[in-house]
Amino acid sequence: MRNIGVGMGIMELPFRDGAGFWRWVDLCEAGGIDSLWQSDRIISREPVLETMTVMAALAGRTRKMKFGMNVLSVALRDPVLVAKQCATIDMLSGGRLLPAFGIGSPTGLEWAAMNIDTKTRGARTDEGLEIIRRLWAEDEVTFDGRFYKLDKATINPKPVQADLPLWIGGSSEAAIKRTARIGTGWQAAAETPAEIAPLVQAIRTQAAALGRSIDEDHFGIGIPFRFGRPDDPGVARVMDAYRKRVQRDPLDYFAIGDATTVMDRISAYVDAGLSKFVLRPVASGEDDVLAQTRLVVEQILPKAAARWPKVKKKAAVA
């Protein structure tokens, strides 16, 4: 039986200052939000917090919630440093880190600004993920790849979680294969519930063919939501940007309405095989984000707990 988790996430910073961010974090912690997620952008004109720094800060501020990257672009970072950062944060938080990785959007500003060929994204990511996974588990790693070379590399301390999650983001054929081969979880992109079921099945089938399995609790997606109307201030701008980017009707993906609308959208994804949800408030500014978050705490979490009671499962600890 699956455990359904309702988390919250942001990419652009909607808060006026650090104090506003911590008000939001504290609200989520006190309200019983399952997890917090920060999207990854290194270079942007809009204010976006650096993902790994946020993970470290959340490790110190919170005591119950898990937290993750949604998703970290491995090809833009040194994999040894990422492995060390993740292990350190997992140790300091008592095993609450949810690392999630992807290849990054080819339209991101980082590639040109950092002089990295977008055609190498997949190969760089595959090498980087192998290095990260091995450094978490092995005492000494030697690696001779196209982009990275290591000679007897070691990190210590290791992660607290014996099998630190390694979630893979994306819905391309390569991402599905990557998840089946090395992933411990999968984070969808912006698919509708109808599109999700065959992707989940493909991951399960390919993983089984490799003698692997992925926990049924480890399939998730981010959902833009709003308690309100599509014509609320700022909502049309976000929906238009989505429509232009993917050439789809945003109302097939966004959950805009009331608690029933949000619950129906989550339920449709649960029926398609997902269990972890990152609700992203479509809101204008700090006060609006806080108000939307309170509505999730007050109206969504109780309904989700009643519909999908939690099942106690043992956590793997080193």
Flag whether 261 is in a domain: yes
Q: State the pLDDT at residue 314.
A: 66
Mean pLDDT across the stretch 105-115? Answer: 92
- How many angstroms separate the first and last alpha carbons of the chain? 25
> What does the alpha-carbon distance between residue 287 and residue 235 come to, in Å, rounded to a whole number?
15
DSSP one-letter code for 210: T
Flag whether 317 is in a domain: no
Flag whether 315 is in a domain: no
Half-sphere exposure of 57 (CA within 13 A, CB side): 16
State the residue range of the domain holding 219. Answer: 5-307
Mean pLDDT across the stretch 122-130? Answer: 96
Q: How confident is the model at residue 312 (pLDDT cuts 50, 70, 90)?
A: confident
pLDDT at 318 over 90: no
Flag whether 60 is in a domain: yes
Q: How confident is the model at residue 317 (pLDDT cuts 50, 70, 90)?
A: very low
Flag whether 181 is in a domain: yes
Look up tokens 């893979």; give the residue. Answer: 168
Tally the domains of the chain: 1
pLDDT at 291 over 90: yes
Flag whether 314 is in a domain: no
Flag whether 313 is in a domain: no
Q: Under a CB-based contact definition with an 8 Å cutoff, are residues 7 and 276 in contact?
A: yes
Domain CATH for 84: 3.20.20.30
State the average pLDDT for the chain. Answer: 95
Q: Is 107 strand, coil or helix?
A: coil
Q: How confident is the model at residue 315 (pLDDT cuts 50, 70, 90)?
A: low
H or E segment and range at residue 14:
none
Q: How confident is the model at residue 163 (pLDDT cuts 50, 70, 90)?
A: confident
Taking CA atoms, 266 is separated from 88, 114, 124, 257, in Å, by 33, 38, 34, 13
Burial of 259 (0-12, 13-18, 19+ CB in 10 A): middle
Report which of 308, 306, 296, 304 is spatially closest to residue 27, judged by C-alpha positions: 296
Flag whether 224 is in a domain: yes
> What does the alpha-carbon distance between residue 132 and residue 121 come to, in Å, rounded to a whole number?
16
pLDDT at 214 over 70: yes
Model confidence pLDDT, tens digit, residues 14-51:
999 999 999 999 999 999 999 999 999 999 999 999 99
